[in-house]
Amino acid sequence: MGNRLGGGGFGPPRGRRRAAASPEGGAAGPADDASSEAAAALDDPEAAARDICLRALTGTAKTRRQLEELLARKEIPDDAAAAVLDRFGEVGLIDDAAFARAWVDSRQASRGLSRRALKSELRAKGVDCEDADQALALVGDQDEWDAARRLVARRVSGLRRVDRETAHRRLLGMLARKGYGSGLAGIVVREALDAEWEADEPSAADTDQGLDAFLP
């Protein structure tokens, strides 16, 4: 009987593979990893799909569509991918509705994006209309106005060196890239520029005091 601790008939546990060594004797490189994944996908596609999805979900949530696309790139058969993704959905590892809520909360707070821009991003990530609309309902009209005003307030002081028309155009462009419509953007920009330019203009009292120096 072979030596259980040595080189007898006991290899690695079935379904798992030893790390492949590079020709130089070091750790496996990207090409070796890709080859191992391809081999695993042929031997046990569902196990390979589970491993790929678990790695992808480490540290960050993903939508079902994102994981579908990842598995397709890894050449996992469609039926194996669907089985694993269905199971992940059942146990809560994939939750597009929760993903959409977290995405909207984070992007609206950190980037000041409008609901229109947020909906476009969710659509690109494969979130369906119902889940997207429920998440976007968390952003009210006042939230959009406040976010737009914060965005403009951060930029307007840096435009003091240009004329008002140029500042107006640049601020409108910035809000448009964030998904804001022209109506809301025009009002917010006009408010900010009025306040900024008025702050630079001398008041009537200041003007009178300046004239007093030339009067007898």
pTM: 0.71
The amino acid at 215: L
Q: What is the pLDDT along the chain (216 residues), one digit of tens a residue?
A: 444 334 443 333 444 444 444 334 445 555 555 555 655 556 799 999 999 999 999 989 999 999 999 999 999 999 999 999 999 999 999 999 999 999 999 999 999 999 999 999 999 999 999 999 999 999 999 999 999 999 999 999 889 889 999 999 999 999 999 999 999 999 999 999 998 877 655 544 454 554 454 444
Counted residue by residue, the chain has a size of 216
**pLDDT, position 199:** 60
Asked whether the beta carbons of 103 and 135 are under 8 A apart, the reply is yes
Token pair recorded at residue 133: 């609309």
Domains along the chain with CATH numbers: 38-94 (1.10.10), 95-139 (1.10.10), 140-201 (1.10.10)
**pLDDT, position 59:** 86
**pLDDT, position 196:** 83
Residue 206, burial from CB neighbour count under 10 angstroms (0-12, 13-18, 19+) = exposed
Asked whether the beta carbons of 41 and 76 are under 8 A apart, the reply is yes
The alpha helices in 28-140, defined as continuous H runs, are 30-43, 45-57, 64-73, 78-90, 96-111, 115-124, 129-136
**pLDDT, position 198:** 73
> Cβ contacts of residue 125 below 8 Å, gap of 6+?
63, 65, 66, 99, 103
Asked whether the beta carbons of 135 and 101 are under 8 A apart, the reply is yes
